[in-house]
Amino acid sequence: MRIEPDVGGQAVATLLDGKATKDAIFAELEPRVSALAEQDVVPGLATVLVGDDPASQNYVRSKHRDCAAVGVRSISRELPGDVSQAELEAVIDELNADPACSGYIVQLPLPGHIDTGAVLARIDPAKDADGLAPSSLGRLVLGEPGPLPCTPRGIIELLRRYDIPLAGAHVAVVGRGITVGRALGLLLTRKSENATVTLCHTGTRDVAAETRRADIVVAAAGVPHLITPDHVKSGAAVLDVGVSRVDGVLTGDVAPGVADVAAHLSPNPGGVGPMTRAMLLTNVVEAAERARGQVLAGRGA
């Protein structure tokens, strides 16, 4: 699929279609879920949602829709915005102990009075569907196997499925948040990806100079239309991850004219968001497969 040019005659980027790719990944998960079902295992994803932010409620709803589409059981825990640390941690303990829950996520951000780090540290690493628990991030730094953060994993999977090479490529990541930028830098510099990464942030002197040298630009700063055409080398791949609300309209980090300069563009919406959800479901199915394998190993099977 191609994005329509706004001016005639200019090169227009090929769309990196996260929605279609998510559907393909879901279709690949279905036989794995069926194989587990034959062994009487139904993977279960739980979501923990605190407060009544409409955007968070929306995300969580779509995760439950995804579960239904793939055959994963979904478990929902909704807590009031004034929940105490102890009450929230009790829910975490419950999910850690619940055999029906293969993996779960605690929807972020949590209210300011909650110690988010303490909550994430309490997640059983075997059930960390987000890959955001400190032990999972530690494993990523150490190069040990473990659940990977969904958005960075989704970005790499999207590039892979469109045959955009990473080995030797120069990737400029804009944004150092834990869920996207920081973790993506760690994934991309593994031997298996072998990319060279420039991690830009608010302290970067000249972001445009860094991104212009890059084969791939990942915009995850949360600054509306930060990346303009003059930030992008002709023929680069650009992925729009940031999302902000401007006058009620969801606005990405990538300005519209970039489609005339880039060779590939992952839009927002329709790009990395659906890939994040695809990787969440993948992490849950993998967690259920691992748990099943351990049961079999424990029996000497």
Ligand X SMILES: Nc1nc(=O)c2c([nH]1)NC[C@@H]1CN(c3ccc(C(=O)N[C@@H](CCC(=O)O)C(=O)O)cc3)C=[N+]21
Binding stretches for ligand X (CB under 6 A): 58-59, 62, 105-108, 130, 150, 268-270, 273-274, 276-277
Give the shortest CB-173-to-ligand X separation in angstroms.
17
Is 19 labeled as catalytic in the residue annotation? no
Q: Spot the catalytic one: 17, 66, 128, 130.
A: 130
The residue at minimum Cβ distance from ligand X is 273
Give the shortest CB-111-to-ligand X separation in angstroms.
13
Q: Spot the catalytic one: 22, 63, 127, 233.
A: 63
Is 10 labeled as catalytic in the residue annotation? no
135 or 204: whose CB is closer to ligand X?
135
Q: Is 175 annotated as a binding residue?
A: yes
35 or 68: whose CB is closer to ligand X?
68
74 or 107: whose CB is closer to ligand X?
107
Q: Spot the catalytic one: 107, 233, 240, 253.
A: 107
Is 22 labeled as catalytic in the residue annotation? no
Give the shortest CB-269-to-ligand X separation in angstroms.
3
Give the shortest CB-206-to-ligand X separation in angstroms.
29
Among 279, 288, 301, residue whose Cα is nearest residue 34: 288
Q: Is 50 annotated as a binding residue?
A: no
Q: Is 177 annotated as a binding residue?
A: yes
Binding residues: 175-177, 243
Instruction: List, by residue number, the catalytic residues.
Output: 63, 107, 130
Binding residues for NADP(+): 175-177, 243
